[in-house]
Structure 1
């Protein structure tokens, strides 16, 4: 009986995956499997940990999140494409699931990847992995978000620590999407730091990480990122021991919110400990390429490419 129920769930998931952009609901899923709504609901809940209706909704939100990052489609068009009643309904559901409005998510997180990158769809992903929900225990005060965040497990590690008795960790599941990422993050009001220079620092350790790092973002009142650095030009890769890293940004006078976190992109695992946020003076250069730490030329040079490079 267990194997039969498992096959029902797998058939239901395949049906849902093929009709994410169509006007289907739980009733249609049950009809396709040819079992009663009540029976399918109970079996799906046991095997997946959520109802088929909730799974359908979360899959639509996940695909909508990818469109927000990788396309220039209007938010209204995305909401209608994934069968939400309207942009307001989509925005409420998206914020409840991801912690951001669609606009905040697009402007903040699309910076992690270049728009010209080709999306790689891993067709070998197992059905069992698609509905793993073991990652929902986030450390107190933190939240998990990203692209395909359900493919990342987060938590507190009391065996691998830098100082004290615990560290935070993000681990990619075996079936993690090559271009997915998970981030443990927080967001708070910028009032205490407006007009100041802010440093985010911490110790990170990685195991077979495709790409990891700290990130810091300064947002304006209209959800517009004013400054951003996610260490992508100096990302941590592979297996590394505990090392101190930092991100430094200027907080504009009109800043409204500050967001920060630990990022793992693709495969592997990252641990974080001893995270600090502190004001620093202007002698500490910013890390986004716009601080006083970079000496600017008075005028452009070598526009005809005739000057010889010195090696």
Structure 2
């Protein structure tokens, strides 16, 4: 997750995304200098505050193109671009097509997807599983997303007890990650979630667990806006498969977006909660049961 200060920056940016605020206004609202905010935000997100605002405004514009009949000029000004031309250039740079073409193409595509969604619960590359997968549904959601044009959605379809869970997941080969420390990051948004979190697991070819983290010690509860989460695991030599996804324990809804994998060095601490042979203590401990 972000540090407290960067999370406060993100929350403030989201609350005032379509205002005419300048960096000084955000700094005054948060209570730190603009130089400190800029440095901390760049350090943790890899983006400048301006780049983040620009991407999020373009995501809002993509939503408006799909779900309203606002003119492109109106959307340009609503999303704080100085002209339709400036908006079109920025939109094309991020979405690889001008806004008018995007509106026409994506509306046709999503109409087709919505018709198919009435008879299928499939999303290419993803699996719906868990202790009781029939109590959950998953889809690609083009109405709720952080950036781009879609997010992954996982939600309960009927009351579910906390002991049961569903997960939207996929698996890929560990071959390109052997010997590396891997960071999986994503954005998650929830609604009335009993318990939710991203997860990642690394197995041997026989299915034996090597590394695992399901955010159990920092799980998400209730209704939350988009927040950044990460999992850091080592990929041992005997690794064969990497499983990952978002899980929902009990009832509720969750959206996941912006999933990324990157190599990090040892200065980034592992979040592994499984343990494996290399982490076992060298000697037995508390043999007399005296330590509480």
> Shorter-normalised TM-score: what interval?
0.5 to 0.7
Pairing 1:141–2:120 present:
no
Q: 2:199: which partner in 1?
A: 215
The answer as to whether partners of 2:128 and 2:137 remain within 8 angstroms in 1 is no
Distance 1:186 1:150 in 2: 18
> What residue number does 1:189 align with?
173
Work out the CA distance in 2 between the residues paired with 1:219 and 1:300: 28
**8 A contact 2:205–2:239 mirrored in 1:** yes
Q: Is the counterpart of residue 224 in structure 1 residue 217 in structure 2?
A: no
Q: Deviations over 1:80-127 (max 9, x none)?
A: xxxxxxxxxxxxxxxxxxxxxxxxxxxxxxxxxxxxxxxxxxxxxxxx
After TM superposition, give the deviation of residue 300 of structure 1 in Å.
Answer: 7.8
TM, length-normalised to structure 1: 0.50
Q: Following the alignment from structure 2 to structure 1, what is the Cα–Cα distance between the partners of residues 285 and 128?
A: 44
Alignment length, in residue pairs?
171
List structure 1 runs of 4+ shifted beyond 6 angstroms.
Answer: none
TM-score for the superposition, normalised by structure 2: 0.53
Task: Give 1:173's match in structure 2, choosing from 157, 160, 164.
Answer: 157
Q: Which has the higher contact order (CA 8 A, sep 6+)?
A: 2
The match for 1:41 is none
Shift in alpha-carbon separation, 1:268–1:191, aligned structure 2, 3 A:
same
Contact 1:135 1:150 survives alignment (8 Å): no
- Verify the 8 A CA contact 2:172 2:242 in the aligned structure 1: yes
Matched, 1:278 2:262: yes
- 1:249 aligns with 233
CA distance in 2, matches of 1:166, 1:160: 7
* Stretches of structure 1 lacking an aligned partner (at least 5 in a row): 1-132, 307-311
Given that residues 202 and 235 in structure 2 are in contact (C-alpha distance below 8 angstroms), is that contact kept between their aligned partners in structure 1? yes
What SS class does the counterpart of residue 240 from structure 2 fall into? strand
In 1, distance between residues paired with 2:258 and 2:157?
25
Q: Distance in 2 between matches of 1:135 and 1:263?
A: 23
Q: How far off its partner does 1:135 sit?
A: 8.5
What CA RMSD, in Å, does the superposition of the two structures yield over aligned residues? Answer: 2.8
1:1-311 mapped onto 2 (5 Å cutoff): 136-289=120-273
